[in-house]
Amino acid sequence: MFITFEGPDGSGKSTQIRRLKEYLEQQGCQVLVTNEPGDTAIGAQIRDLLLNPIYKGITPETEALLYAADRAQHVRQVVKPALAEGKVVICDRYIDSTIAYQYFGRQLSGEFMGTITKYAIDGLMPEATVILELSPEAAEKRYTQRAQAKQADYDVPDRLEQERAEFKERVNQGFKYMAENYSHRIITIDASGTIDQVWDAILAGLKERGVLC
């Protein structure tokens, strides 16, 4: 079983992923939690190229190809082998991030994005995707709290976090579009509530779709 989590920066994905992992383990499942970009040795280098604010002037095409390269490595080296061992794999960000950030956000062509994504995912689509929905203002507030708690990768906001409001708005529209058009796979949850409220909604949504036991 392959489950992915999506949502804007600061929407609380990591906390909810931890909860789901604990829940599934209590049900007797073996669970692997992973993330994109950066969960392989090669991916860690790619992640730095993508997010380190010292790299200025990366073209949208280069950015999209780097995310695709990270995914090509991650799917083949980590995700598929774990699924073959019968594990549940929970991935923090996957294909819907690419659609929201590179296709909607960067406005790259569908032909280009479709082609590189096809080779990157190698046929692997999630059975279920949880999108945590949060307004840009609320996400910004949470990001600031996280930065103050020194959990951020860099001393300053990363390259994508530094993007302008219009870009973030397009990203949000991308997630909305995906949720509306792929509702059999995607569960959208309002992430503005408490951790417990959000978790209860995720659990109910996954059970409703028959994804969990």
Contact positions vs ligand TYD (CB under 6 A): 9, 13, 36-37, 51, 67, 92-93, 97-98, 101-102, 160
Residue 9 DSSP symbol: T
CB-nearer residue toward ligand TYD: 104 or 199: 104
CB-nearer residue toward ligand TYD: 13 or 128: 13
CA-wise closest residue to 131 among 8, 7, 40:
7
Of all residues in the shown chain, the one whose CB is closest to ligand TYD is 101
Q: How far is the CB of 120 from ligand TYD (least distance, A)?
A: 9
Tell how far CA 10 is from the center of its chain: 12
Q: How far is the CB of 159 from ligand TYD (least distance, A)?
A: 8
Q: What 3-state DSSP class applies to 31?
A: strand
CB-nearer residue toward ligand TYD: 101 or 175: 101
CB-nearer residue toward ligand TYD: 2 or 67: 67
The answer to whether 186 and 202 have CB atoms below 8 angstroms apart is no
Number of Cβ within 10 Å of residue 134's Cβ equals 23
Q: How far is the CB of 27 from ligand TYD (least distance, A)?
A: 25
Q: How far is the CB of 210 from ligand TYD (least distance, A)?
A: 26
Its sign, for the CA torsion 114, 116, 119, 123, is: negative
Q: What 3-state DSSP class applies to 25?
A: helix
CB-nearer residue toward ligand TYD: 156 or 204: 156
Q: How far is the CB of 175 from ligand TYD (least distance, A)?
A: 11
Tell how far CA 162 is from the center of its chain: 18
